[in-house]
Amino acid sequence: MRRLLALRQEGKFTTGHVRTVADALGVRERAVWRWLAAAEKDETAAAAPGERARYYGRFTVTEEVRALLGLWRGNVAAVHRELTARAVRGEGDPPPSVPTLHRAIRRDLTPGERAGLAGGERAARKHDVFLARPRSWRNRVWETDHMQAPVLVDVDGTARRPWITWFTDCATNAITGVAVTPVHPSRESVLAALRSAVLREDPYGPFGGLPEKVRVDRGKDFLSRAVSAAFDVLDVGVEDLPAFTPHLKGTVEGLNRAVESMFLAALPGYARQPRPGRRLSRPKGEVLLGFEDFTARLLDWTRWWNTEHRPAPLRGRTPLEAWREDPTPLRDVPAADLWTFTLEDAGTRTLTTRGVRFRGRDYVGAWMTGQAGIQVRVRFMPHHDHRIEVYHAATGRYLGPADLADQATEEQISAVRRARAARARRLKKDLAASQRERYAAVTQAEAPQRLGALTTVQAGAELARATGCDLSDLALPDLIAPAAPPAGWRTPASLAALTTPGRPLPVPSGSDEVTASDRRDGRVPRAPTDEDGDA
């Protein structure tokens, strides 16, 4: 428009110029003539041809409308009702029609803003543009993450969703290590996956070696003391990414999405991620995979991914081909040393005739014969409390494993777990019954009315049971003997018996009856009379 206005001012403007602009923009010539007329009246219209000017009364999205869109999760009809109600109360101007409000929102807000106001930051992130990191060399950077598989698996008779912990190489898209946990993962899962990732022996190779850096996402398991110590000893840097930034570790996040659509969705027991407040459901009578079978199938898929799959970033190559074509030298660690480095240190202990004392229990091993009295260092795998690894405290030499002494049998452990589960279910049922409240149904607006009546005696008994016992039952009067009172004081018989050496004990407290023999024998002092004067 600015160029057409300049040509008109110079006297060189022709209809051909209008026709050329219309062809270039894909509009009719009448539209160009209309834009040119608007630009002559207002210079600002030349910057945005075709848009209605503000002085025509066009409705624009205000901060109030944005706040209401966030409140009503992008529901434009609800926003319109709220604006109308405020206008009726005299709190603002009447809003435009619903179609006009829709047009203004589409015009003034970007797709990312509309998605963010309706679905939050994760929905808005789908409309962002992200940069791609340049491809580096193998073992330059690894990424790691936990993933809960959307598949129900039979774990000791209970349907559970296992967790997958894996490491992936960013340069070759290879899965270097993986560990599967039936329940929520811990630092033990990270250490197990790290060992499988670093080792290049069968069945882990040929991928592996020590990386230069590992990216994590602030997970407490990846930043635990044991895992951090293992990374420090292995000379591996850790890049702690900010929270809620999955795009900064896109390699492993892409793997999480790929394994679900390419492998997990075809397994029995597959259930998509449920909506908030809903439970996972599956067809009745469906036979679930066992945990061992699920793990075997996942490892087979991992081998297929590394040796046969051809990801798009590798341009027709498999991760194995990309790995072998990279001439970068690898840093290997012996399996025995790697096992030592990935154990948690528990400090030094003294080896006694009962073995090594660790966490209140004794651990023994056949190699301990004749070794009692030496100082040893204990290392252990987190949560594997049936065995520890023992090293010489002074030299660091590996002495051998030690197993838990007097370990219970599998039958005993199963019986204890069943008893604990029954107790937990009973306690949960009792708590739910005690906290359940019922209210009367209403057909008009009125205050809620609780149902359930108690007498005064029942309420008192319930409160007495809640407090445990009376405070008088907790009193221990004989725990600390009272000091002797001054000689001029007239003291009660019970206190005088406790503080006077050799004096017989008084009658039990609370007894009001005193016999004549008691007075004659001097076990109860005579009550004061008027002849004795004031006490």
pLDDT score, position 415: 77
Provide the pLDDT confidence category of residue 297 given band limits of 50, 70 and 90. very high
Which spans in 89-186 are helix H?
98-108, 111-119, 121-125
pLDDT score, position 298: 94
pLDDT score, position 279: 58
How do residues 179-224 score in pLDDT, each as one tens digit? Answer: 999 988 888 899 999 999 999 887 777 899 999 999 998 888 898 8
Q: Which of 423, 410, 386, 407 is nearest to 156 (CA)?
A: 410
Residue 505, pLDDT above cutoff 60 = no
**214 phi, psi to nearest 5 deg:** -130, 130
User: What sign for the dihedral angle of Cα 315, 320, 325, 331?
Assistant: positive
SS3 label, residue 349? strand
Provide the pLDDT confidence category of residue 464 given band limits of 50, 70 and 90. confident
Q: Which of 304, 298, 301 is nearest to 318 (CA)?
A: 304
pLDDT score, position 500: 67
Provide the pLDDT confidence category of residue 345 given band limits of 50, 70 and 90. confident
| Token pair 């630092």 in the structure block, residue | 187
Residue 513, pLDDT above cutoff 70 = no
How do residues 67-108 score in pLDDT, each as one tens digit? Answer: 999 999 999 999 999 999 999 999 888 999 999 999 999 989
More confident residue, 498 or 157: 157
In the CATH scheme, what is the code of domain 343-404?
Answer: 2.30.30
Provide the pLDDT confidence category of residue 473 given band limits of 50, 70 and 90. low
Residue 381, pLDDT above cutoff 60 = yes
pLDDT score, position 509: 46
**What percentage of residues in the chain have a pLDDT greater than 90?**
39
The predicted model scores a pTM of 0.64
Separation between Cα atoms, residue 119 and residue 275, nearest integer Å: 13
* Least confident among 340-354, 418-432, 495-509: 495-509
More confident residue, 430 or 535: 430
- Per the CB < 8 A criterion, the answer to whether 200 and 183 are in contact is no
Residue 264, pLDDT above cutoff 90 = yes
- Rounded to the nearest angstrom, the gap between the alpha carbon of residue 387 and the centroid of all alpha carbons in its chain is 29
Which DSSP string do the residues of 186-216 spell out, in sequence order? -HHHHHHHHHHHH--STTTTTS-S--SEEEE
Separation between Cα atoms, residue 3 and residue 7, nearest integer Å: 6
How do residues 110-163 score in pLDDT, each as one tens digit? Answer: 999 999 999 888 888 889 888 888 889 999 999 999 999 999 999 888 889 999
- Per the CB < 8 A criterion, the answer to whether 480 and 467 are in contact is no
Q: Which of 284, 402, 297 is nearest to 346 (CA)?
A: 402
Q: Output DSSP code: residue 480.
A: S
Domain 142-325 classification at class level: alpha beta
Residue 54, pLDDT above cutoff 60 = no
User: Which residues partner with 180 through β-bridges?
Assistant: 164
More confident residue, 46 or 172: 172
How do residues 315-326 score in pLDDT, each as one tens digit? Answer: 899 999 999 999
Tell me whether strands 375-380 and 344-350 are parallel, antiparallel or unpaired.
antiparallel
Find the length of the chain: 535
Average predicted confidence (pLDDT) for the chain: 82
Long-range contacts of 443-449 (CB under 8 A, 24+ apart): none
Q: Which of 448, 190, 203, 477 is nearest to 335 (CA)?
A: 203
Q: Residue range 380-392: average pLDDT? A: 85
Residue 529, pLDDT above cutoff 60 = no
User: Tokens in use for 368?
Assistant: 């301990």
Number of H helices, E strands in the chain: 18, 14
Q: Residue range 230-236: average pLDDT? A: 92
Provide the pLDDT confidence category of residue 451 given band limits of 50, 70 and 90. low
Provide the pLDDT confidence category of residue 458 given band limits of 50, 70 and 90. confident
Q: What angle do CA 297, 301, 306 make, to 5 degrees?
A: 150
Q: Residue 157 to residues 152, 287, 291: CA-CA distances in angstroms?
A: 12, 12, 10
Domain spans of the chain, in order of start: 2-56, 63-125, 142-325, 343-404
